[in-house]
Amino acid sequence: MLIIGILALTYVVFILISARIYQKNAVLALEKQIQAEEQHKAEQPVLTINEGDVLGRIDIPRIGVSVAVLQGTTSRTLRLGVGHINGTALPGEPGNIGIAGHRDTYFRALKDIRRDDEIQLETAAGITRYEVEWIQVTSPSDIGVLAPTTESSLTLVTCYPFYYIGAAPKRFIVHAHKQ
């Protein structure tokens, strides 16, 4: 039992350290993208975005969230950061941007978010500020919260309840509009 416990703790520590290192590298990658964008203001061809690519960073100052936004929502991607939900607008584009994260890692602090809180989404193109419009708990099958919009908006998704053990039965949704 002791050996199993030590192995389990070692695994958790390894995962947490590798995620922290990845977050630091993601910040550096975003800074390089910003520098490249500043140097090449001319129209560029559309680039292919692959699973796990760094798209930007979300900051929610009041609750202390600062995390890289990666492309996709595979388990590996969500272990390293929060993920852009395929089929929603890309960060920096108009429309409803969907971003998912685990409730037991990067999006744990969403339990403390409030209406009117500011969310900053930084991409190579700059920083866009959003204001929390509404918060709701819904079923996992309610994909209407990710529906396309004509206005620029941001929808954050995580599992709910926050302290549930195992696969959570609900989803915690934070919807914000561009300021």
Which domains are assigned to the chain?
A: 2-178 (2.40.260.10)
pLDDT in tens, 28-72: 888 877 777 666 655 555 568 999 999 999 999 999 999 999 999
In which band, very low, low, confident or very high, does the pLDDT at 116 lie, cut at 50, 70 and 90? very high
pLDDT at 44 (0 to 100): 55
What are phi and psi for residue 77, nearest 5 degrees?
-60, -45
State the Cα–Cα distance between residues 109 and 162, nearest whole angstrom: 9
Q: Give percent of the chain above pLDDT 90.
A: 71
How many angstroms separate the Cα of 127 from the Cα of each of 24, 33, 69, 142, 176? 19, 13, 13, 29, 15
Cα dihedral 57/58/60/63 (nearest 10): -90
DSSP code of residue 120: E
**Strand duo 126-138 + 170-178: pairing:** antiparallel
Query: Model pTM greater than 0.85?
Result: no
Q: For all residues of the chain together, what is the average pLDDT?
A: 91
